[in-house]
Amino acid sequence: MNPRPMFSRIKAALDHADIEGLLAIGCPADEYNSEASLIEDRIAKLEQSGHEPPAEAQVERIVAEVWNEQFGPFRDEDLKQRCSAFTSVARKIIGSL
């Protein structure tokens, strides 16, 4: 049994989206582990504060914030280019909760 099922679902969503295209160019499979962990922690905090289940928009905001912190800072137009990927990741995460 996986001790961190939420992490695994978030990591799978990030890997599938491969927002930066890093897996496609051969980066190691653990490339998005730290981002998945940060997203997992922030969703858990959101749930603990009484927002259960988290809304898709809240998860999308978390994904975008983590992404900008880890890979940015991005200009507004760069964030807009990634917006559909953030939405896709958030939907996959929400769908797996």
pLDDT in tens, 14-67: 999 999 999 999 999 999 999 999 999 999 998 888 767 789 999 999 999 999
pLDDT confidence of residue 71: 97
| pTM for this entry | 0.91
pLDDT at 1 over 60: no
pLDDT in tens, 67-88: 999 999 999 999 999 999 999 9
pLDDT confidence of residue 3: 62
Rounded CA separation 32/63 (Å): 12
Rounded CA separation 31/43 (Å): 20
pLDDT in tens, 43-52: 999 888 876 7
Distance (Å) of CA 94 to CA 11, 44, 78, 86 = 13, 13, 24, 12
pLDDT confidence of residue 60: 97
Which residue type sits at 88? S
Cis status, amide bond into 53, omega within 30 of 0: yes
Ranges of each domain in the chain: 5-96
pLDDT confidence of residue 48: 86
Quickly count helices (H) and strands (E) in the chain.
Answer: 4, 0
